[in-house]
Structure 1
């Protein structure tokens, strides 16, 4: 009977520990519900566009940082756009007119002192941009 009671206590403690470890606020939320990316500027060749990552009330916790990835999924023939990633704003510059499909990803990164890295996806969004030739003509 004593063995059964000890086993029951150990199982209860183990299950409680698992629930607590997996239920941190960021992990429970997954991608941030109010997160979005807003692209501002003239959508013409040579004009800079600014992509601003808006997170509503959410703030990246102290000791962690934001990592931005912007992937060019589709583009017209020619050179890829110049992309300078940053948080909360990234800069985009297009040198050729056409339709571009960009995938924006915002991750929250944390590092332990032991060298481990943890990444939490806060936002992933694909945007299609129509870039016009300089001078606005087609």
Structure 2
């Protein structure tokens, strides 16, 4: 299996074509269930991208959030918009974009967090991500 490496780019440095391609990839990967609100949550941080011959085939983003835990506000790197083009699944690209996302989290944040679909859990759990058992809310 070939080894893939994601390129890290801040939202402000993404060109319009890459932004459009990332949005399209996410909408397609989530079967049309990826909303404009989901897209907005994906912007404003670092993006891990993998392209093949100019086509975007994998994406993940890390954006800053505040996570309140036991009265403390933690600086959180929140993973958003993880997707691999359907023709490229099963080749390690999900792990490659998560490698890059985790590098960002480890270098800049106190904690990492994400919300996972059932399919996503198969990617995240073997990497050491744990399910949260407590309540959650948005401020």
TM-score, structure 1 normalization = 0.29
**Higher helix fraction (1 or 2):** 2
**Higher strand fraction (1 or 2):** 1
Larger radius of gyration: 1
